[in-house]
Structure 1
Amino acid sequence: MNRIAEFHTELELLPVKAVEHPCIKHAVELEQSFMEGAYNRVLSARQSVPHPTYVYFMDLLAKTVRDEIARCSEKGYGSLSISDAKQMLMFSSDQELQQYITEEHLEWEIKNGSVFFQKAEESQPCKEIPSLQLINQTLSYARELERIV
């Protein structure tokens, strides 16, 4: 569900002794890998689950990771070759990539050996950050803080 911040908070509340349990330790390592953006470690962790019941949750996590990579890819690229998209989304075959696109990203198009992201072309331009106003406001806060201290 991509609620990693809430998960991180819950892990921080656990006592140190509980974190040493193999099942919890696995979850902590997953969270660290996710926070670092080491998605390959997150996806490969499915092979080393401490208990068979983890497989279901690892599949959900793999989908979340792929969806996050897909969102970034369509914002960062106009298109990718099929082999690059397959590698980026960590699929082992072209059929898995095709199935993912068919089920999750109907707006993507495969043609001439590439995956084209329609959303990248249709995305709205970023709004300009009022940097001068922010600088003035920050300096004003600094002056007020200096006066108080």
Structure 2
Amino acid sequence: MILGLNLLRLLVQNRIAEFHTELELLSPAALENPCVKHAVELEQSFMEGAYNRVLSAKQNVPCKTFDYFMDLLAKTVRDEIAGCSEKAYDYLSISDACQMLLFSSDNELLEYIKEGHLEWEIKNGTVVFQKANESAPCKEIPSLQLINQTLSYARELERIV
């Protein structure tokens, strides 16, 4: 149970690389444990983007102690969806945002926006996302200079060898 809880903790913190490292250290017998299996199935669903499956997994946890982490995992899933939504859309209707973030009411969405300290605005029934990349100026990559420098390094290495 402790191994499963640790894996779930790493998943909640979105520390996927460490999750897989811990998973590789487990024995085949430990991998057959229902608690560990549950955490692995959640990670697979999370990575596939099957967020509905992740959220519905709260109904069939192998142990009551998993409930706490399942609530935290729901927030992690919503944060992941919110981050992707900001990058993919300029704005969404409130109903679409509720559906995308898996909320059952508009009030839950409004609370999430307030609690999450998101730079989103509600205007005329839509959620307007503030683009993070608008504030960062775009710099041109000096490609010709980089190519010449790389070729120069290659010539120097060839001389050395």
TM-score range, shorter chain: 0.7 to 0.9
| Equivalence for 1:77 | 89
Inter-CA distance 52–124: structure 2 relative to 1 (3 Å threshold): same
Distance 1:83 1:75 in 2: 19
Distance 1:17 1:127 in 2: 53
TM-score when scaled to structure 1?
A: 0.80
Q: Is this contact kept in 2: 1:46–1:58, CA < 8 A?
A: yes
2:16 to 4, 16, 38: 4
CA RMSD in angstroms, aligned pairs only: 2.6
Inter-CA distance 128–39: structure 2 relative to 1 (3 Å threshold): farther
2:124 to 112, 126, 140: 112
Distance 1:130 1:46 in 2: 51
Q: Which has the larger radius of gyration?
A: 2
Could you tell me which amino acid in structure 2 is paired with residue 36 of structure 1?
A: E
| Equivalence for 2:109 | 97
For structure 2, the 5+ residue unaligned runs are 1-12
Distance 2:115 2:79 in 1: 12
For structure 1, the 5+ residue unaligned runs are 145-149
Distance 1:106 1:62 in 2: 17
Identity %: 75
Distance 1:58 1:128 in 2: 44
Could you tell me which amino acid in structure 2 is paired with residue 5 of structure 1?
A: A
